[in-house]
Amino acid sequence: MKKRTRKETILVTIGDVVINLVYYDRKEDEDLSVNDFDSAVEEGEITVLEMVEAFQKRLEDELGVHKGDKGHG
């Protein structure tokens, strides 16, 4: 079996983060259940794009990479 590249491993890990965010971390969460999360998107309270932008900003802040910097794609 071929070993994953670092990039592939990061992308798989992002998938894990997403499923944890929308499902596993919500199972016991009294403030934001799986249904609350789904309803917020379905009812237009928040969009996927808004979540992506928030995730992108936080990731850029944590990595110290911002628009115009090397490494920002």
Q: Would residue 1 count as lying in a domain? A: no
Total number of domains in the chain: 1
Q: Would residue 68 count as lying in a domain? A: no
pLDDT tens for each residue of 8-21 = 999 999 999 999 99
Q: Would residue 17 count as lying in a domain? A: yes
Provide the residue range defining the domain that includes 56. Answer: 6-63
Q: Would residue 71 count as lying in a domain? A: no
Q: Would residue 70 count as lying in a domain? A: no
The answer to whether residue 47 scores a pLDDT higher than 80 is yes
**What's the chain's length in residues?**
73
Q: Would residue 52 count as lying in a domain? A: yes
Is this structure's pTM higher than 0.85? Answer: no
Q: Would residue 11 count as lying in a domain? A: yes
Q: What is the mean pLDDT of residues 18-37?
A: 90
The answer to whether residue 72 scores a pLDDT higher than 60 is no
Q: Supply the mean pLDDT for the chain.
A: 90
Q: Would residue 48 count as lying in a domain? A: yes
73 or 29, which is more confident? 29
Instruction: Output the CA–CA distances (angstroms, integers) from residue 2 to 6, 12, 22, 40, 68, in the order listed.
Output: 12, 15, 30, 40, 35
Say which residue the tokens 């850029």 belong to: 60
The DSSP secondary structure of 1-61, one letter per residue, reads: -PPPPHHHHHHHHHHHHHHHHHTGGGTT-SSS-HHHHHHHHHTTSS-HHHHHHHHHHHHHH
